[in-house]
Structure 1
Amino acid sequence: MQDIVIVAPVDVEAELDSLAQRYRAAGGIGIQVLNAVGGKAESLLDKLPQQVRGGLTEATERALSLAMRAAQGSRRALPKQTERGNMVWTTAMGAAGGLGGLSTALVELPVTTTVLLRAIQDVAASYGFDPASENVQFDCIRVFSAAGPLAVDDGADLGFVSLRLTLTGNAMQKMIAAVAPRLAAAMGQKLAVQSVPILGAMAGASVNYVYTRYYQQIAHVHFGLRKLAIDADIPHGELVSRLSDRMALAAR
């Protein structure tokens, strides 16, 4: 006689409340930390050299392409990495990148992008998704289309979780090209903060800590919604709408 397994019903409202809390928490502490180390990136962004600002989207797209291959390769060498471990890695790299100002920050950018993507993949795996599958790889890149931690965002814009593209041909490259401009804006803010000579390594470490924490939280929202849609058998679009309503109410 087979044992009967009773599966507890999913508390959809509680799960949505938890995801809304993660979304709200994603950016709040980041602004506090960056303000603590000095200045706002928005005002510093205009001070970046025109050549850097003009080539930021292309550089970010290139970094994303390299990061996807490198992050996936790192999973074979190191299958499991904690969220805290990823934050330690990026914080250390940010400190190193900030030591030399803009020049070393530009070198550090693709490496940090790789670790951020790896951190997003780890969150996906924690929800039972396979980071090696193509659709999950798309989702991992899609997380980067969320506004960066310094963006003014009241939580009502959840377009990053409902982004849809008609993917034909080189599908992954098309996805990366679509996401790169949004991520480039966030990375431009990151470079701006790291370029302040007086702040140096402290700024680089703080910025990377903020960005890693932010994208990990956003990944929880994204993959949490995906899993909830499966477990509760509710259309994903409906869950996005309900979460968006929660965020809009909280912002009033």
Structure 2
Amino acid sequence: MEAVMAEILPPVTDPVLLKQIDLLAKRHRAAGGVVMHLIGYIGGSAESLLGKLPAPVRSGLEGATERALSGAMVAAEHSRGIVADRPDWMNRTLTAAMGAAGGAGGLGSSLAELPFTVTMLLRAIQGIAAEHGFDPASEEVRVECLRVFASAGPLDDDDGMDLSFLAARTTITGPSLKSLVAKVAPRLSAVLGQKLAAQAAPVLGAVAGAAVNYSFTSYYQEIARVHFGLKRLARDSGADEGVLREELVARLTKK
């Protein structure tokens, strides 16, 4: 019944809403530009980066990502009662410093840096959720923050298929949150594998690590602003969020 009702909802015709959706689509398209320029500078392509990692690292990346993401959920939430949300530029600066430390020691130190960067990224996403009027402590918003991580990633040309916009509504419980972490981990592990490979590029070392982390942080902050911007638009206008999402996806997939 719900699916049938969704099909007969009228399209968005309010010019103010349509303009806001256009701005969100423009922001989404621009989000990955800095990362792609960086990868071009390092050399190779997004598709070839994962192949540059040693086989043991590639095979263990998904499990390591799931552990890092689960730990980040706890650490980021606990830190909210201790450290105030930071502006975007500060989050980028801090993660860049982490990337520099990781890149300076090669792949080994980059792997050690990974869970700290994931925690910082998640905390930044939570801060943007709060900025848009949503409570990061609620289970529902914690899931929405994970959905930002489930986006295609800064190196994929897959805007219209981002899980952050197309994920089905679920009942929010502890087990379902854990299940969502398991679903996000494979997609995020591919993204983080690309990050590790770029970060461990020969010669560039700490400079590449800082630049990669800065770019990835910028990307996920922008995607979070699109995601929670859409949710706030639905909340404030009273429009159906699913219909607004379809309008956004239509703009992202339009060639």
TM, length-normalised to structure 2: 0.90
Provide the identity percentage: 51
Equivalent of residue 150 in structure 2, options 145, 148, 158: 145
Q: In 1, Cα distance between the equivalents of 2:250 and 2:232?
A: 19
Matched-pair contact (CA < 8 Å) for 2:96–2:214 = yes
Structure 2 regions of 5+ residues with no counterpart? 1-13
Match of 1:109 in 2: 114
Match of 2:93 in 1: 88
Matched-pair contact (CA < 8 Å) for 2:50–2:190 = no
Match of 1:31 in 2: 36
TM-aligned CA deviation for residue 226 of structure 1: 0.8
Matched-pair contact (CA < 8 Å) for 1:37–1:202 = no
2:180 aligned with 1:180, yes or no? no
Matched-pair contact (CA < 8 Å) for 1:91–1:205 = yes
Equivalent of residue 208 in structure 2, options 165, 189, 203: 203
Matched-pair contact (CA < 8 Å) for 2:150–2:164 = yes
TM-aligned CA deviation for residue 233 of structure 1: 0.9
Q: In 2, Cα distance between the equivalents of 1:204 and 1:159?
A: 27
RMSD, aligned α-carbons: 1.7
- What amino acid maps onto 1:132 in structure 2? A
Q: In 1, Cα distance between the equivalents of 2:20 and 2:118?
A: 29
In the TM superposition, what are the counterparts of 1:27-106 in structure 2 within 5 Å? 27-106=32-111
- Note closer, same or farther for the CA distance 1:86–1:216 as it changes in structure 2 (3 Å cut): same
Across the two proteins, how many residue pairs are aligned to each other? 241
2:193 aligned with 1:160, yes or no? no
Matched-pair contact (CA < 8 Å) for 2:42–2:201 = no
- What amino acid maps onto 1:163 in structure 2? A
Matched-pair contact (CA < 8 Å) for 1:34–1:206 = no
Residue deviations 1:134-183 (CA, integer Å, cap 9, x gap): 10000001111101111123x32243223026455522211100111000
- What amino acid maps onto 2:23 in structure 1? S
Runs of 4+ in structure 1 displaced over 4 angstroms? 165-169
TM, length-normalised to structure 1: 0.91
Q: In 2, Cα distance between the equivalents of 1:194 and 1:144?
A: 19
Matched-pair contact (CA < 8 Å) for 2:152–2:162 = no
User: Quick check: 57-66 or 76-85, which moved more?
Assistant: 76-85
